[in-house]
Structure 1
Amino acid sequence: MAEHADEIEIKNEASFGDKITDKIHRHDSSSSDSDSDSEKKKMKYDDDVKKQSPVKSKSNRLFGREKSVHQVFGGGKPADVFLWRNKKISAGVLGGATVLWVLFELLEYHLITLVSHILILVFAVLFLWSSVSKFINKSPPPIPEVKIPEAELLQVADSIRSEINYYLNILRDIASGRDFKKFIAAVVGLWVLSIVGSWCNFLTLFYTTFVLLHTVPVLYEKYEDKVDAFAHKVMIEFKKQYAVFDDKVLSKIPKGPLKHKKNA
């Protein structure tokens, strides 16, 4: 009887252990299933975000642009300089502009005087080097032949011509009264430019613009998403205010008799 009771107790313990292991396996399988489900949901959410992101990026970008900041600046060496792709070159260009501004603005140096002094120094060094090399039996310094290539010069002139014609067409559209928004933007821009021009001279304004071109684009490229989101909100608010202004003011302006004659 005692042996039979021991066998029953051993069987009960074994069955209890099997139940525990079954519960552990079920918990593991359920947790793994839940983990796989969460991973699938996450992957699906990421795919949806990727599908929606191009549309949002195009509609919410500043000025509705579809190009990158680098492509807006031409995508060449000037864009690399403005966006600090090569920090040494960008720092050198900005440092050189700063030196020129200090010489011309703070020290009141003149351009013709500066160019004349630089040429005098270069000619004096080359002349002395060539004269001394004859006495010490050394070859004179090689002076490279500098020529302006015709193809590159024509290319630069053609690009400048196309840009000037583009902006002249914009000014023509503004003056013709076809777009009231462009007219208001041009008047406000010129008014702001006149105020800034009264504060400083052309050299300081040019240097300030040069510094802004070396700082604002690279900062915008770094914080592009935040700036675009804020600009999108500002544009929505501006459109609302313009709609109110158009409804209350512009729509009440009487039209000229020419339009009625054309319709008649």
Structure 2
Amino acid sequence: MAEEHPADVFLWRNKKISAGVLGSATAMWVLFELLEYHLLTLVCHILILSLAVLFLWSNASTFINKSRPHIPEFHIPEEPVLQVAAALRIEINNVFAFLRDIASGRDLKKFLSAIAGLWVLSIVGNWCNFLTLFYIAFVLLHTLPVLYEKYEDQVDSFAEKAHAEFNKQYAVFDAKVLSKIPRGPLKDKKRD
């Protein structure tokens, strides 16, 4: 069987796997969001069922002359956990550096983009909870790449026009508003 790559799943190269992944995500969203089932409850119920079946199987095996179930030992190796922790630390430090760069006041365009993005996220967060937002992002991740691949020329043309219009509007905003904001002595100072 050929190895599936994430890009193949996102671009629907194997429709059964892609539909299965999207269907599983939809089932999980329905379970947790619409039926208001909680993850901790689900994990506990699965563990209860698993432990009960294994316990009964182990004890019943002597009565029905069957072998006991083989329950493998499971240990989490230290090295992968440390690698994940180190990678996570690096990403968190990058986010802190990015936020510090924005807050330092050096790049007004980046600052305004961050404020606008956070404002839009706060509005979206007011409409739906994190799980629904995560599900929407997951569905978009499974539909937009294949749609882009199919309609690439039209999307690129529209994106170029939108980018040109954004730049034109930003230039007007810069000329009418941002250029009129007085700059403090920080701009004239030489940076170390």
TM-score, normalised via structure 2 length:
0.81
CA distance in 2, matches of 1:253, 1:80: 50
Tell me how far 1:105 sits from its aligned partner: 1.6
**One-letter identity of the residue aligned with 2:103:** A
Alignment of 1:240 with 2:151, yes or no, is no
Q: Judging changes above 3 Å, is the alpha-carbon distance between structure 1 residues 248 and 167 closer, same or farther for their aligned structure 2 residues?
A: same
Partner of 2:66: 138
Alignment of 1:175 with 2:84, yes or no, is no
Tell me how far 1:134 sits from its aligned partner: 2.0
- Aligned pairs, how many? 187
SS in 2 for 1:135: coil
Q: Judging changes above 3 Å, is the alpha-carbon distance between structure 1 residues 122 and 249 closer, same or farther for their aligned structure 2 residues?
A: same
CA distance in 1, matches of 2:9, 2:87: 19
Partner of 1:251: 179
CA distance in 1, matches of 2:22, 2:113: 30
Q: Judging changes above 3 Å, is the alpha-carbon distance between structure 1 residues 164 and 215 closer, same or farther for their aligned structure 2 residues?
A: farther
SS in 1 for 2:61: helix
1:221-241 Cα distance to aligned partner (Å, 9 max, x none): 343333222212211121122
**One-letter identity of the residue aligned with 2:33:** E
Q: Show the 5 A alignment for 1:94-243.
A: 94-243=22-171
Report percent identity of matched pairs: 75
Structure 1 or 2: larger helix share? 1
CA distance in 1, matches of 2:145, 2:86: 26
**One-letter identity of the residue aligned with 2:65:** N
CA distance in 2, matches of 1:84, 1:165: 35
CA distance in 2, matches of 1:85, 1:164: 34
Q: Judging changes above 3 Å, is the alpha-carbon distance between structure 1 residues 220 and 167 closer, same or farther for their aligned structure 2 residues?
A: farther
1:68-93 Cα distance to aligned partner (Å, 9 max, x none): xxxxxxxx955554444554444333
Unaligned runs of 5+ in 2: none
Q: Judging changes above 3 Å, is the alpha-carbon distance between structure 1 residues 164 and 81 closer, same or farther for their aligned structure 2 residues?
A: farther
Q: Judging changes above 3 Å, is the alpha-carbon distance between structure 1 residues 207 and 221 closer, same or farther for their aligned structure 2 residues?
A: same
- The structure with the larger Rg is 1
CA distance in 1, matches of 2:77, 2:17: 23
CA distance in 2, matches of 1:145, 1:163: 33
CA distance in 2, matches of 1:213, 1:258: 43
CA distance in 1, matches of 2:88, 2:9: 19
CA distance in 2, matches of 1:163, 1:82: 24
SS in 2 for 1:109: coil
Tell me how far 1:206 sits from its aligned partner: 2.0
TM-score, normalised via structure 1 length:
0.61
CA distance in 2, matches of 1:85, 1:149: 35
CA distance in 1, matches of 2:93, 2:189: 34
